[in-house]
Copies of this chain bind each other. A is one copy, B any other.
Amino acid sequence: MRRLKLILEYDGTDYVGMQYQPNGVSVQEAVEVALCKICKQNVPIVASGRTDAGVHALCQPVHSDFPIDAINPQNLQNALNSLLPADIRVNKVDVVANDFHARYHAKKRTYQYKITNKLTAFNHRYFSCFNFAELDCELINKYLELLQGEHDFSNFCKINPAIKSNVCYIFSAFICPHENYWILKISGNRFLHNMVRRIVGTCFILHQERAEPEKISEILNGKDNSARYKFCAPPNGLYLENVEY
């Protein structure tokens, strides 16, 4: 038995998320089906984290205990890619230490959120559309700056009573204009359920109102609990970009 680290890339549009769900096919299921075909036995995988239905990954590390000792990582990668649907790719396979854990050992996670103000037949799977004529990136960056550092993000997530602490450390968060779209990038030690989408959603509501930067701190610390700021931006613009160990 060898522990493997696989780097997955996926278009999440047609999946119910990374993790098993009763209502459809998950990325996990698709990968485990392919591994099972190769190994003729169940080979569970453990991801660095969950991604919701419709959320994509440019780099989703998973680990797995592979029951065959003689492994050629490149051959395994090729075999998996030939068995997997075209919207899931394995970009790397490495043999790792037997105690490596894709989730617990992750130190930094980076997400990107791609934004457009005009949907086309070709971008709707990969961008979220917001209604604006001009985007004041400087203003949004002021909101994002106030989220950096260590904070309790209870007011920016879907509360899960099983999780003891909602404190996260945000290394960086900023938005950048591109040719005809925008990318918001955020890196942190961990992210709570819906946290990136809630941050994006709130920033766009605040931007719509041209609210003062300090408003986001009031929302963060619960001073302003208005329902209109609790907007969860759609999943299709969200990508897990990188996970560092």
Binding site for B on A (CB under 8 A): 9-11, 56, 86-89, 119-122, 124, 126
Q: Which of B9, B10, B124, B126 contacts A87 (CB 8 A)?
A: B124
5 closest cross-chain pairs (CB), A and B: A86-B124, A11-B121, A9-B121, A89-B121, A10-B121
Contacts of A119 in B (CB 8 A): 86, 89
A11 to B126, CA, bound (A): 13
Question: Is the CB–CB distance between A122 and B86 below 8 Å?
Answer: no
Assembly stoichiometry (copies): 2
User: Which residues of chain B have C-beta atoms less than 8 A from A10's C-beta?
Assistant: 121
The interface residues of chain B lying within 8 Å CB-to-CB of A122 are 9, 11, 56, 126
Q: Secondary structure at chain A's binding surface: helix, strand, loop or mixed?
A: loop
Can you list 7 residue pairs at the A/B interface with Cβ under 8 Å? Answer: A9-B121, A11-B122, A56-B122, A86-B124, A87-B121, A87-B124, A122-B126
Alpha-carbon distance A87/B122, docked complex (angstroms): 7
A10 vs B121: C-alpha distance in the bound complex, in angstroms? 5
Expressed in whole angstroms, the minimum distance between the Cβ of A55 and any Cβ of chain B is 13
Q: What are the residues of chain B within 8 A of A56 when measuring CB–CB? A: 121-122
CB distance from A103 to the nearest CB of B (A): 21
- Which residues of chain B come closer than 8 Å to A86, judged between CB atoms? 119, 121, 124
Give A178 Cβ to nearest chain B Cβ, in Å.
Answer: 13
Knowing that A10-B121, A11-B122 are A-B contacts, what are 8 other residue pairs whose CB atoms are under 8 Å apart, sorted by A's residue number?
A9-B120, A56-B121, A56-B122, A86-B121, A86-B124, A87-B121, A89-B120, A122-B126
Report how far A56 CA is from B123 CA in the complex, Å.
13
**Which single residue of chain B is at the shortest CB-CB distance from A91?**
B120
Q: Which residues of B contact A88 (CB under 8 A)?
A: 121
Give A31 Cβ to nearest chain B Cβ, in Å: 12
Q: How far is the CA of A94 from the CA of B86 in the complex (A)?
A: 39
Give the complex CA separation of A153 and B29 in angstroms. 47
Q: Which residue of B lies closest to A9 (CB)?
A: B121
| Chain B residue nearest in CB terms to A10 | B121
Tell me, rounded to whole Å, the shortest Cβ–Cβ distance linking A116 to chain B.
Answer: 12
Nearest-Cβ distance from residue A212 to partner chain B, whole angstroms? 35
Closest-by-CB residue of B relative to A88 is B121
Contacts of A120 in B (CB 8 A): 9, 89
Q: How far is the CB of A118 from chain B (nearest CB, A)?
A: 10
